[in-house]
Amino acid sequence: MGNYELGQVYDLELSTLKPNPHQPRTVFQDTEIRELANSIDEKGLLQPILVKELEDGQIIIVSGERRFRAHQLLERETIPAWFTTGDPEELALVENLVREDLSAMETAEALKKLADRFGLKTNDDIGKVIGKAPSTVSEILSLNDLSENIRNKIRGDKKFALRELKKIASQNTPKAQEKLFKAYEAKIETESLKKATRARLTGEALHKKKVQSIRDYFTKMSADDKILELSSLREELSNLKDGIEIILNNLIELNSKFDASKVEEASSKPKKKKK
């Protein structure tokens, strides 16, 4: 393995490292790299990258390309790295899949590549390699049935949930998939706007919003539902009142006993004779 030993950490020059051509992560978000760079700048690199030296002397990144890019952004000259042996593609695929560091679409494509390259015939075989149930593997692989347009949109974006994407993938035609996907995108956008609105509401505005929500809730209820709801609320308040009264009575009783003991203590003390 040339001048390098396994198990040793080396500070390697960034200019000598080559990205892994079989890296399962195909999209790197600028914001993620910037956030990682800020973290490394503040706390240092917590985990060295994993590299392998090829027969021609080239050193390729097996795992840790985001950390590598963050160091480039920080204009660092070197980065700590471990050396490994074995197939770089298999190592990169398995590590990323086990760490769940990929988007749903990247995971689906990586699983398919893993199965094709290493002759894994069944979902059970794939599951044993990455530590997932065959049913989960089946769900993930189904995303490869999505239309090319949808695959391109969701690749590299973790906001798209597997449970929703598999419903879209189950549609019989690309047109049906596109229709359901647009509805899903609209739902995500609406939820995002609601979260942003809630985040901006504070103090009096938040109080008014809560009061209005309660009013809207009762407006939509039928008369019978309102009676049931109010009856339940009245019962809860009554129970709360009873509980408070019990606590107050207990406190009064304890206080009376305390006062009585004080009086008894005072009366038992011998009185001083007047001179």
Give the pLDDT confidence of 238-249 residue by residue, as tens digits. Answer: 777 777 778 777
Same domain, 158 and 96: yes
Mean pLDDT for the chain overall: 79
DSSP 270: P
Inside any domain, residue 195: no
Look at residue 245 and tell me if it is in a domain: yes
Q: Which is more confident, 25 or 38? A: 38
What CATH number did the domain enclosing 153 receive? 3.90.1530.10
If asked whether residues 43 and 79 sit together in one domain, one would say yes
Instruction: Check whether residue 67 and residue 158 sit in a common domain.
Output: yes
Q: Report how far residue 44's alpha carbon sits from residue 47's, in angstroms, rounded to the nearest whole number.
A: 9
Pairwise pLDDT comparison (178 vs 253), residue with the higher score: 178
Which of residues 125, 155, 190 is at a domain's end?
A: 190
pLDDT value at 194 more than 60: yes
Residues 54 and 149 in one domain: yes
pLDDT of residue 1: 57
Q: Residue 199 domain-assigned?
A: no
Contact call for residues 126 and 137 (beta carbons, < 8 A):
yes
Please report the pLDDT score of residue 54 as a whole number: 84
Token reading at 249 = 């009575």
Domain assignment present for residue 251? The answer is yes
pTM over 0.85: no
Question: How large is the average pLDDT for residues 11-32?
Answer: 80
What band does 152 get if pLDDT is binned at 50, 70 and 90?
very high
Instruction: For the chain, count helices (H), then strands (E).
Output: 11, 5
Last residue of a domain, one of 166, 190, 214: 190
Q: Of the ranges 70-74, 79-83, 191-195, 204-208, which one carries the lowest mean pLDDT score? A: 204-208
For residue 110, the model assigns a pLDDT of: 83
Give me the domain span that covers residue 156: 9-190
